[in-house]
């Protein structure tokens, strides 16, 4: 588990592949006085990820890591993590699966946000599957990353109600609004704040 030692903020890297709206909410949170983290690195496997713009806006360095080969990609990521003294990794819409080796190396230091009430609806196309199954509720989950997909220890969840006319798109936006609040809240919980 990550320990807060004194007033120093925990150096955090956020991994993204797409829009980066969770990255933005984490950056805004990190800049609050009572936040336990500072975001000092953004990693993306996708040079076209829209979320990279937040690195520019908030002046946080980013590294694009090409994923032609996972072993090589993870070696580069590990070098970046070491060079930047990163202590916590937040996955935020990062669409690559991390290897068992990588996860073991940073055991207890990698968090993820998933748009369902885990353990239900692990994996992709969550909202579509939730709607097809006529669920009454869905939500989002922040959890530790372990070697099984979307299966690590749950830190915090938020439930949302599904309307009768809900579509996967409307559900996705409704849940995303909650994700932006949940990720910072889960990080505070981790540090007993
Ligand atoms: C979010 O729904 C997150 O739960 C999932 O991927 C999406 C990323 O959205 N893992 P964004 O890139 O943070 O806007």
- For the stretch 35-82, pLDDT in tens is 999 999 999 999 999 999 999 999 999 999 999 999 999 999 999 999
Given a cut of 80, whether residue 155 has pLDDT beyond it is yes
Task: Report percent pLDDT > 70 for the chain.
Answer: 96
pLDDT at position 6: 59
pLDDT at position 5: 55
Report the nearest atom of ligand 1 relative to the CA of 91: 10
pLDDT at position 158: 98
Output the CA–CA distances (angstroms, integers) from residue 157 to 113, 118, 138, in the order listed: 10, 8, 10
- Closest residue to atom 5 of ligand 1, CA basis: 93
Report the separation in Å between the CA atom of 6 and the middle of ligand 1, taken as the mean of its atom positions: 32
192 near 36, Cβ under 8 Å?
no
Is the CB–ligand 1 distance for residue 19 below 6 Å?
yes
Taking residues 186-192, what's their average pLDDT? 96
Backbone phi and psi for residue 114, each to the nearest 5 degrees, phi listed first? -130, 135
- Closest residue to atom 8 of ligand 1, CA basis: 93
pLDDT at position 90: 98
pTM: 0.96
pLDDT digits (tens, 9 = 90+) for 127-154: 999 999 999 999 999 999 999 999 999 9
Q: What is the dihedral of CA 77, 82, 88, 91, to 10 degrees?
A: -10
pLDDT at position 2: 59
pLDDT at position 124: 96
Q: Which of 59, 34, 64 is nearest to 48 (CA)?
A: 64
175 near 168, Cβ under 8 Å?
no
Report the separation in Å between the CA atom of 101 and the middle of ligand 1, taken as the mean of its atom positions: 24
Q: Which of 4-8, 91-95, 110-114, 160-164 comes out lowest in average pLDDT?
A: 4-8
Give residue 4's pLDDT band: very low, low, confident or very high (50, 70, 90): low
Taking residues 18-42, what's their average pLDDT? 97
């Amino acid at each position: 588990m990550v320990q807060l030692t004194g007033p120093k903020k925990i150096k955090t890297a956020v991994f993204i592949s797409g829009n980066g709206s969770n990255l933005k909410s984490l950056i805004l949170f990190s800049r609050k006085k009572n936040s336990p983290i500072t975001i000092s690195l953004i990693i993306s496997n996708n040079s076209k990820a829209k979320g990279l713009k937040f690195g520019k806006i908030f002046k946080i360095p980013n590294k694009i890591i090409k994923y032609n080969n996972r072993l090589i990609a993870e070696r580069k990521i590990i070098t970046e993590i070491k060079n930047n003294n990163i202590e916590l990794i937040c996955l935020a819409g990062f669409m690559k699966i991390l290897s068992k080796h990588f996860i073991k190396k940073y055991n207890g230091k990698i968090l993820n946000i998933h748009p369902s009430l885990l353990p239900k609806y692990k994996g992709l196309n969550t909202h579509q599957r939730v709607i097809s199954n006529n669920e009454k509720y869905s939500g989002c989950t922040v959890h530790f990353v372990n070697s099984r997909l979307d299966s690590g220890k749950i830190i915090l969840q938020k439930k949302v109600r599904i309307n009768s006319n809900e579509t996967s798109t409307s559900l996705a936006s409704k849940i995303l609004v909650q994700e932006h609040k949940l990720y910072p809240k889960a990080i505070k919980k981790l540090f007993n704040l």
